[in-house]
Amino acid sequence: MGQGNKTKSLSANSKQFSPLSRKGLVIAIDGPAASGKSTAARLLAKRLGYLYLDTGIMYRALTWKALRDKVDIKNSKALSELVKGTRISLKPKSDLNIQVYLDGKDITSFIRSPEVNKYVSLVSTAGGLRKVMVAQQREIARCGSLVAEGRDMGTVVFPRADVKIFLQASFEERAKRRWKENKERGLSLATEEVEAELANRDRIDSQRKTSPLRRAKGAIVIDNTHLDIPETVEKMWEVVGKKIKC
Ligand code: DC
């Protein structure tokens, strides 16, 4: 690119200014279930004016489809076939809510059901299915300016992300948060039940063969056991700020 072009594309007033000519950062956030990733990442994206990608939603949508179509979720080949003809689109509804469409159908109200919660980790172990998801996630990040969160953002999907964050909290605190979340959705589960489900999810997510949950090389760890959401976002903001060189 010639100097003239460079000057044009860096001018904020120029009509030529676009994310394509001056990409924003890719921020990869990973962490276990109920660590508060989704809400904090979404608010961080809003503050930066970036796109927000909740990759857990994509795996949840596929799980819902597999359950609806009675696909054997232990059959990784059948899951790979299922994903091939599937269209998932995510549309922001408000600051904190995303509408999820699967093959054109709005499935937002189904993706956090107890059934999907129960099977999503298992479905996510299927290597062929993950391959398709990873390709779609990279395509979304093509123009940069993205906050993406999940389990393998920094390790597999965006190993060269500009910023990598690993968000964690104690098991007890995460179980408390999950219990509260369920309650707010009208599900009154026993503490032991919530803890057992979370422990199972942690085990599958971190011990699976393909893309297990790990702290990525170069990831900054934020432990938010004693932080609320605004404080967590502030910590993330500080980490991102250190990466932005003016
Ligand atoms: O973030 P969440 O709880 O909505 O994610 C649901 C499940 O999806 C999680 O238990 C594992 C899977 N997942 C994954 O395997 N890889 C990702 N990048 C995101 C989620």
Q: Is residue 5 part of a domain?
A: no
Q: Is residue 20 part of a domain?
A: no
User: Is 32 known as a binding-site position?
Assistant: yes
Residue 18's pLDDT is what?
A: 39
CB 53 within 8 A of CB 146: yes
Domain total in the chain: 1
Closest to 143 (Cα-Cα) out of 6, 60, 19: 19
pTM of the model: 0.89
Rounded CA-CA distance 178/190 in Å is 11
Closest to 242 (Cα-Cα) out of 216, 222, 226, 224: 222
Indicate whether 1 pLDDT > 90: no
- Percentage of the chain exceeding pLDDT 90: 79
Q: Is residue 59 part of a domain?
A: yes
Query: Among 205, 209, 210, 213, which is best to mutate for testing ligand 1, by the most ligand atoms less than 8 A from CB?
Result: 205
- Find all residues with CB under 8 Å of 141, minimum gap 6, and list them: 26, 53, 148, 158
Task: Determine if ligand 1 sits within 6 Å of the CB of residue 55.
Answer: yes
The closest-lying atom of ligand 1 relative to the alpha carbon of residue 157 is: 18
Residue 48's pLDDT is what?
A: 94
Q: What's the one-letter identity of residue 106?
A: D
Q: What is the pLDDT of residues 7-62, one digit of tens each?
A: 222 222 333 333 444 579 999 999 999 999 999 999 999 999 999 999 999 999 99
Specify which residues 30 forms β-bridges with: 150, 166
Window from 17-26, 62-71, 81-90, 92-101 with minimum mean pLDDT: 17-26
Distance of CA 192 to the CA centre of its chain: 26
Task: Determine if ligand 1 sits within 6 Å of the CB of residue 201.
Answer: yes
Distance 130 CA to ligand 1 centre (A): 11
Q: Is residue 13 part of a domain?
A: no
Angle at the Cα of 83 from the Cα atoms of 100 and 94, rounded to 5 degrees: 10
Indicate whether 5 pLDDT > 50: no
CATH number of the domain to which 148 belongs: 3.40.50.300
Residue 245's pLDDT is what?
A: 64
User: Is 219 known as a binding-site position?
Assistant: no
Q: Is residue 132 part of a domain?
A: yes
User: Is 33 known as a binding-site position?
Assistant: yes
Q: Is residue 17 part of a domain?
A: no
CB 25 within 8 A of CB 160: no
Q: Is residue 15 part of a domain?
A: no
178 — pLDDT class (breaks 50, 70, 90): very high
Q: Is residue 213 part of a domain?
A: yes
Query: Among 37, 52, 59, 201, which is best to mutate for testing ligand 1, by the most ligand atoms less than 8 A from CB?
Result: 59
The larger pLDDT score, comparing residue 184 to residue 13, is at 184
- Find all residues with CB under 8 Å of 131, minimum gap 6, and list them: 80
Rounded CA-CA distance 140/71 in Å is 28
Range of the domain at 90: 26-245
- Secondary structure class of 224 (helix, strand, coil): coil
Among protein residues, the one with the nearest Cα to ligand 1's atom 10 is: 121
Please tell me the total number of residues recorded for the chain in this structure.
246
Residue position matching structure tokens 């503050």 = 47
